[in-house]
Amino acid sequence: MSIFRRRKADAETAVERDTDTGATDPSEQDEAADDAETAVPDAPVDRSTGPFDATEVEDDDGRLDLGALRLHGREGMELRLEIDQEQQHVIAATAVLGESALQMQAFAAPRSGGLWADIRSEIAVAIETQGGTADVEQGDLGAELRTRMPSAGPDGRTVFAPARFLGVDGPRWFLRGVISGRGAIDDAAAAPLLEIFRGTVVVRGSDPMAPRELLPLRLPQEDAAPMPTAPTDLPPTSTDDLNPFERGPEITEVR
């Protein structure tokens, strides 16, 4: 279940929100939609130490160039790029450190900004109507969402996987991060991933784009410095059914 989806037929139209919030009662769907639409905009986040807009840093700053995102590597980090199998486009970058992972995606936003408050509310509604929990907490990057994502276990019982949603509104862009694994419940394990998120540069570009449209990512150039990697075996958690943005199933590892 996607909370909203991009229209493929008309690139100039705004994104159409998915009306299926997971509630079976129409009144529950209406209530969930009302909750999502009445989110109060967040106060601006201090981005003096990141995440950065491309205009705020040097072009050649040692970060790995993935198109819409540029990020620093860390010792022991593995970078995974998620591919839309049909379109053969890179749609997300995931940094893995030990038993924790951080998925990042950047999206176009209106000049007025303020996407994160609405998106956070939509995510919370979707998770709660599926039987999970979603709590807003204040962190170094402003409001974030601490969630327990429900899914069916191997024996048919409902199991819950923790996930931590981050969001920062920038100039005409929105950067979203999802921390999974140990980092979703252990602040010490999450700390290096938060540093990666904060140190990320978003390259919005000048092309007109609909709000919430995914900013294009690409594979790193062959002559780029290799990223330090380490094998990892993350616990089997899935956020596909409750992901607020469309994702592809294929994963390419960059070593």
36-83: per-residue pLDDT in tens?
Answer: 444 667 877 889 999 999 999 988 788 999 999 999 989 999 999 999
The mean per-residue pLDDT over the stretch 154-167 comes to 94
CB-count burial class (<10 Å; 0-12, 13-18, 19+) for 147: buried
Per-residue pLDDT tens over the stretch 202-213: 999 999 999 999
Q: Quick one: average pLDDT of 230-247?
A: 40
- At 79 the pLDDT is 96
Amino acid sitting at position 33: A
Q: Are 64 and 220 in contact (CB under 8 A)?
A: yes
Strand residue runs (E) in the chain: 4-5, 16-17, 52-53, 64-65, 69-71, 78-84, 89-97, 100-108, 133-139, 142-152, 158-170, 173-181, 201-202, 250-254
Provide the token pair at 103: 């998925």
137 secondary structure, DSSP code: E
Q: Residue 220's pLDDT band (boundaries 50, 70, 90)?
A: confident
Cα separation, 240 vs 203, whole angstroms? 26
Nearest alpha carbon to residue 99 among 16, 190, 201, 198? 190
Asked if 159 and 150 touch (Cβ cutoff 8 Å), the reply is yes
pLDDT exceeds 60 at position 233: no
Question: pTM value?
Answer: 0.74
Instruction: Tell me the H-state helices in the chain.
Output: 26-37, 115-129, 187-198
How many Å apart are CA 176 and CA 102, to the nearest integer? Answer: 10
Q: For the chain, what percent of residues have pLDDT higher than 70?
A: 71
Question: Domain span at residue 14?
Answer: 4-254
pLDDT at 110 over 70: yes
- Identify the three-state secondary structure at position 32: helix
**Mean local confidence (pLDDT), 214-234:** 61
Contact 244, 119 (CB under 8 A): yes
The model's pLDDT over 169-200, given as tens digits with 9 standing for 90+, comes to 999 999 999 999 999 999 999 999 999 999 99
Question: In the 8-state DSSP scheme, what is residue 241?
Answer: G
pLDDT at 85 over 90: no
Q: How many domains does the chain have?
A: 1
